[in-house]
């Protein structure tokens, strides 16, 4: 697989990474077996993936433990990104309401992540969500100190807005922003993408396949389990999905011409947007990971991209992307 550099930082990774959240958190209502997920992560590495994304909040803690065990045979050959920032007791893993980015909480979270991942340094450490009660300069300064201590390699933000990014970057250069970005959610194109270009910050899109919707495997007849987070998300309500199928149809037309899958076109579109974009689609199936990686070999020419952009100009995602309470926790 080709490699990409996140912004101007000395942080080079596989062009497509792997989001590990669904391997333990059960957000899609499915049960996973630890041994199978360890084999999956190792299989992804063998296929060329060397950028893995996790967080203390996934579980909590379980996802980091899983990833730490899985990467043992090749730890020095991969890059690991994890996150702090939710109100989680570092000792018990019990999660309280809201967020917590107080310096002492960040330091405790990092110590826990280092231990669970079995590493001496976290390659990329994100603030998972902006904490309105703690100045971002204080957060960035704390991470800067952790970088100076050799416990963290690079600083990242997740779902942060323009001013937050600017203020954080002035204290400690931000290597990457992780935000939702895909063919059906393009809100960051107006102000965020130009800012990242200006400051030399890379972008790591999560949900690059629209939580599975852009693969074409979901429609208005799909019944989600109560434990599947999509059952609570407005854009996955039947009427919204019926309207949003226009995005899938656009992908399908291009995919047929290119001899690719819808998922591959959705990922190839992201890769074509900027050379410093590294999507992290998640999966619990190795054949899906191989399919996603195949997007790196799909060449979208100017005519293809123009056709997609013309089609997108006529479309607008129906339904809010998150429940209202969750949307309020983002800076977008």
pLDDT of residue 59: 92
Rounded (5°) CA angle 19-2-34: 30
The pLDDT-based confidence of 48 (bands split at 50, 70, 90) is: very high
Tokens coding 43: 């299989």
Distance CA 248, CA 217 (A): 10
Q: What is the pLDDT of residue 214?
A: 98
pLDDT tens-digit series, residues 200-220: 999 999 999 999 999 999 999
Cα–Cα distance list, 304 to 111, 214, 226, 270, 296 (Å): 47, 17, 39, 13, 16
Q: Tell me the C-alpha distance between 58 and 143, whole Å.
A: 21
Are 179 and 188 within 8 A, CB to CB? Answer: yes
Classified as helix, coil or strand, 180 is strand
What digits encode the pLDDT tens for the residues 137-168? 999 999 999 999 999 999 999 999 999 999 99
The burial class, CB within 10 Å (0-12 / 13-18 / 19+), for 38 is middle
Q: Name the average pLDDT for the chain.
A: 96
Q: What percent of the chain has pLDDT over 90?
A: 94
Closest residue by Cα to residue 247 from 210, 193, 273: 210
Q: Identify the sign of the CA torsion 208, 218, 230, 325.
A: positive
> Phi and psi of 150, rounded to 5°?
80, 10
Q: How many residues does the chain have?
A: 332
Q: Where are the domains of the chain?
A: 3-210+274-298
3-39 tens-digit pLDDT: 999 999 999 999 999 999 999 977 787 789 999 999 9
Strand order in the sheet with 152-158: 18-19, 51-53, 79-84, 122-127, 152-158, 174-180, 202-206
Contact 168, 160 (CB under 8 A): yes
End-to-end CA distance of the chain: 32
Name the fold adopted by 3-210+274-298.
TIM Barrel (3.20.20)
Mean pLDDT of all residues in 48-74: 97
Alpha-carbon distance values, 220 to 21, 207, 214, 255 (Å): 25, 19, 13, 22
Residues marked as catalytic? 58
Q: What is the pLDDT of residues 93-109, one digit of tens each?
A: 999 999 999 999 999 99
Residues 199, 170 contacting (CB under 8 angstroms): no
Statement: residue 246 has pLDDT above 80: yes
């Amino acid at each position: 697989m080709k490699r990409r550099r996140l912004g101007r930082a000395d942080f080079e990774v596989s062009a497509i990474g792997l989001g590990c959240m669904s391997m333990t958190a059960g957000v899609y209502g499915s049960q996973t077996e630890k041994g199978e997920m360890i084999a999956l992560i190792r299989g992804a590495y063998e296929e060329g993936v060397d950028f893995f994304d996790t967080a203390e909040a996934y579980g909590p803690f379980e996802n980091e433990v899983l990833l730490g065990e899985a990467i043992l045979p090749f730890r020095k050959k991969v890059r690991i990104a994890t996150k702090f920032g939710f109100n989680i007791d570092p000792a018990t893993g019990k999660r309280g309401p809201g967020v917590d980015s107080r310096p002492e909480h960040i330091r405790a979270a990092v110590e826990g992540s280092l231990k669970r991942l079995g590493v001496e340094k976290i390659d990329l450490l994100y603030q998972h969500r902006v904490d309105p009660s703690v100045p971002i300069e204080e957060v960035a300064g704390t991470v800067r100190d952790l970088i100076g201590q050799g416990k963290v390699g690079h600083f990242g933000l997740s779902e942060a807005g323009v001013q937050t990014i600017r203020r954080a970057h002035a204290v400690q250069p931000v290597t990457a922003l992780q935000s939702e970005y895909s063919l059906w959610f393009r809100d960051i194109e107006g102000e965020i993408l130009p800012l990242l270009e200006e400051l030399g910050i890379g972008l790591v899109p999560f949900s690059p396949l629209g939580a599975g919707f852009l693969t074409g495997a979901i429609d208005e007849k799909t019944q989600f389990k109560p434990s599947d987070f999509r059952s609570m998300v407005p854009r996955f309500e039947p009427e919204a999905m019926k309207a949003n199928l226009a995005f899938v149809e656009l992908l399908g037309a291009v995919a047929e011409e290119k001899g690719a899958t819808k998922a591959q076109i959705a990922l190839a579109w992201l890769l074509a947007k900027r050379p410093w974009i590294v999507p992290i689609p998640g999966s619990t199936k190795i054949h899906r990971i191989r399919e996603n990686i195949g997007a790196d070999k799909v060449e979208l020419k100017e005519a293809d991209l123009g056709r997609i952009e013309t089609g997108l100009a006529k479309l607008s995602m129906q339904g809010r992307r998150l429940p209202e309470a969750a949307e309020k926790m983002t800076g977008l």
